[in-house]
Structure 1
Amino acid sequence: MRRLTRTVAAAALAAALALVAGCSGDSDKSDAKGAGDSLEKVTYLTSFGNFGRDSYAWVAKEKGFFKEAGFDVDIKPGQGTGSVIQTITGGQADFGPIDLTGGILQLGNGEAKDFVAVAAIQQRTMAAIVSVEGKNIATPKDLEGKKLADTPFSVVRNLFPTYARLAGIDGSKVTWVNGEAQALMGMLGSGAVDGIGQFVVGQPTVEAVTKKKPVVLPYSNVMQDLYGNALITSTKIAKEKPEMVKRFVGALLKGLEYSLEHPQEAADLLKKNVDATNPAAAKAELELMAAYVRSSNSGTAIGTLDSGRVAKSIALLRGAGALKQDLTPDQIIDLNLAPKA
């Protein structure tokens, strides 16, 4: 009798354990966002190639920030503001950073639509013309008669007419040629062009590639209040998946903040994923970028957007004759999805 009782008890215990295990497995599958097939697949574009300034996306992936937020992210190199906008609004990517001023130009001139900015990456524009010593370029006026290279969709190139007007340059005397994002510095180093469209933080990489001292003409010297890069998504995703957008923004900005605090590690993680990376140059880019990412207002969170500042940017471009139609800030930014100040 005792043997029979023990046998029945053991069978009952086994059945109970199997039932609990089955319930636990179902619960894990329904609740866990960080494992296997439960992760939401997202395609992310960098702003411009794979330089140190864009390493924070790789950091967010490698450190598990995207996974913790429920995402499996495929990171692809972008080719500048216009190209990133086209790829996202065309449905081939979900998120990517663009220069916000470039986005205003695209939207206000009818060249793009159906996208919205949901977080600031840099609080000030980093757009610039970069040359090297020996090209006889020291001031904006020196660009006249010179040959510059950039991607067709870069904000530096598309904002140049406004920059030229405000800086006193005769834009008709400047020649632009096309170049891929990753090839521009090589073109400058070989002497094929006199300058390139670039971000100010690209100085260390330019010097590493060209072996010459960079000469930088920042657009911010003549255009104040302009934001730098801002994260965008399509208006469709913003409308249909607002909570998903907030989760992605949070994970990406976590990667951005970590990268600024640990630039060497961020550079090493970029090198792990992009073999052509120069870790020393990538680290230096991040160190230079920190001042552009953090707001001058103490305590303001990374990623915040201000409709008043966007309105000033629109007014500046409108006043310079760079916009065919007027815009309001809510046509290009969504403060409901952006981090709160």
Structure 2
Amino acid sequence: MTYLTSFGNFGRDAYAWVAKEKGFFAEAGFEVDIKPGGGTGDNITKVEAGAAMFTPLDLTGVLLARGNGGAKDVVAVAGIQQNTMAAIISLEGNQITTPKDLEGKTLADSPSSVVRNLFPTYAKLAGVDATKVTWVNGQPANLIGLLASGKAAGIGQFVVGKPTVESVAKGKKAVVLPYSDVMSDLYGNVLVTSAKIAKENPDMVKRFTAALIKGLVYSIDNPKESGEILQKNVPASAAGPAAAELELMATFVRPSGATIGAIDADRVAGSIKTLQDAGAIPAGLTPDQLIDSSLTPAA
């Protein structure tokens, strides 16, 4: 089975490596090949083409894709983060402390990243003129380098990327502009598979989901060990920053009162309304078009 991480190999995706290393996948009957993902759009394409069976994708990115005619053959089967982690990260000295400061600046991100594709909606709600912001392309592995070298004033990242950014940009503090400041009800990543797999093999989907979530829980409960597991399997990923990412991610995975892995259809409907009100997607999209409630963990 091939599994794609959400975006490269950072601490936020360590839970898949943990599920493999600790034997959770094997116990559920799976041999999993974990490959680095390239962002929402690229991962959707690969899942729909059958090149991967599962991947975590930012739910808002999937909503944007489906609302605009794409992502027709993928379904969400579990929640990974109960709140969006999308953000712009800059460095002190780049004259970016508020969203309005992004005007006139150059930002870098993958063209398929949810952070980049959601930016027009974020900009509108945050009072930013998106036409005054320049985007350049960058791949997951080199985004932080572009920021540290000064080739970009900010990059698309998840808020938990702060420790990793600061470990690369030695001596400089990261400045984080979370999208959740203006879009508080959006989900973060959700586990996605193809509609075909969900329909034809629901038991397999449930077993895989349970094993992955077991790895997710273990990761946020044991961030230091999980960072070391990631570095063992992906030597380019430093254990310390990875562990720090997982510590930050814990509140997104397990906020007060939330069931790990659950997806609430009413909240998704609210997210759809936010995007529609901002003009990001047309009317007509409903939660049941994207979420298989028979497979998601019970709230």
TM over 0.5: yes
Residue matched to 1:233: 193
Identity of aligned residues (%): 66
Residue matched to 2:255: 295
Q: Distance in 2 between matches of 1:325 and 1:72?
A: 41
Residue matched to 1:308: 266
User: What secondary structure, in the 3-state scheme, does the structure 1 residue paired with 2:288 have?
Assistant: helix
Correspondent of 1:279 among 219, 232, 239: 239
1:168-187 map, 5 Å: 168-187=127-146
Residue matched to 1:213: 173
Residue matched to 1:19: none
Deviation at 1:319, TM superposition (A): 0.6
Q: Distance in 2 between matches of 1:290 and 1:133?
A: 26
Q: Distance in 2 between matches of 1:296 and 1:100?
A: 20
Residue matched to 1:322: 280
1:93-172 map, 5 Å: 93-172=52-131
Residue matched to 1:258: 218
User: What secondary structure, in the 3-state scheme, does the structure 1 residue paired with 2:31 have?
Assistant: strand
Residue matched to 2:204: 244
User: What secondary structure, in the 3-state scheme, does the structure 2 residue paired with 1:136 have?
Assistant: coil
Tell me the number of residue pairs that the alignment of Structure 1 and Structure 2 aligns. Answer: 298
Counterpart amino acid of residue 86 in structure 2: A
Deviation at 1:325, TM superposition (A): 3.9
Counterpart amino acid of residue 109 in structure 2: D
Runs of at least 5 residues in structure 1 that lack an aligned partner in the other structure? 1-41
The structure with higher relative contact order (CA 8 Å, sep 6+) is 2
Asked if the contact 1:318–1:326 (Cα under 8 Å) also holds between the matched residues in 2, the reply is no
Deviation at 1:335, TM superposition (A): 1.1
Q: Distance in 2 between matches of 1:190 and 1:324?
A: 39
Q: Distance in 2 between matches of 1:54 and 1:74?
A: 14
Correspondent of 2:14 among 36, 44, 55: 55
Verify: 1:66 aligned to 2:18, yes or no.
Answer: no
Q: TM-score, normalised by structure 2?
A: 0.99
Q: Distance in 2 between matches of 1:112 and 1:103?
A: 7
User: What secondary structure, in the 3-state scheme, does the structure 2 residue paired with 1:231 have?
Assistant: strand
Residue matched to 1:86: 45
Q: Distance in 2 between matches of 1:277 and 1:225?
A: 31
User: What secondary structure, in the 3-state scheme, does the structure 2 residue paired with 1:227 have?
Assistant: coil
Counterpart amino acid of residue 147 in structure 1: T
RMSD of aligned Cα (Å):
0.7
Q: Distance in 2 between matches of 1:333 and 1:106?
A: 14
User: What secondary structure, in the 3-state scheme, does the structure 1 residue paired with 2:245 have?
Assistant: helix
Residue matched to 1:198: 157
Deviation at 1:295, TM superposition (A): 3.2
Q: Distance in 1 between matches of 2:285 and 2:133?
A: 29
* 1:314-333 deviation line (CA, Å, top 9, x unaligned): 00100110003421101111
Q: Distance in 1 between matches of 2:168 and 2:179?
A: 23
* 1:200-237 deviation line (CA, Å, top 9, x unaligned): 00000000011110000000000121000000000000
Counterpart amino acid of residue 234 in structure 2: V
* 1:177-208 deviation line (CA, Å, top 9, x unaligned): 00000100000000001000000000000000
Deviation at 1:78, TM superposition (A): 0.3
User: What secondary structure, in the 3-state scheme, does the structure 1 residue paired with 2:136 have?
Assistant: strand
Counterpart amino acid of residue 90 in structure 2: S
Q: TM-score, normalised by structure 1?
A: 0.87
User: What secondary structure, in the 3-state scheme, does the structure 2 residue paired with 1:72 have?
Assistant: coil
Counterpart amino acid of residue 57 in structure 2: I
Q: Distance in 1 between matches of 2:87 and 2:30?
A: 34
Residue matched to 1:9: none
User: What secondary structure, in the 3-state scheme, does the structure 2 residue paired with 1:66 have?
Assistant: helix
Return the index of the structure with the highest Cα Rg: 1
Q: Distance in 1 between matches of 2:86 and 2:255?
A: 18
Counterpart amino acid of residue 45 in structure 1: L
Structure with the bigger percentage of helix: 1
Counterpart amino acid of residue 273 in structure 1: N
Deviation at 1:97, TM superposition (A): 0.4
* 1:150-169 deviation line (CA, Å, top 9, x unaligned): 00100000000000011110
Deviation at 1:72, TM superposition (A): 0.3
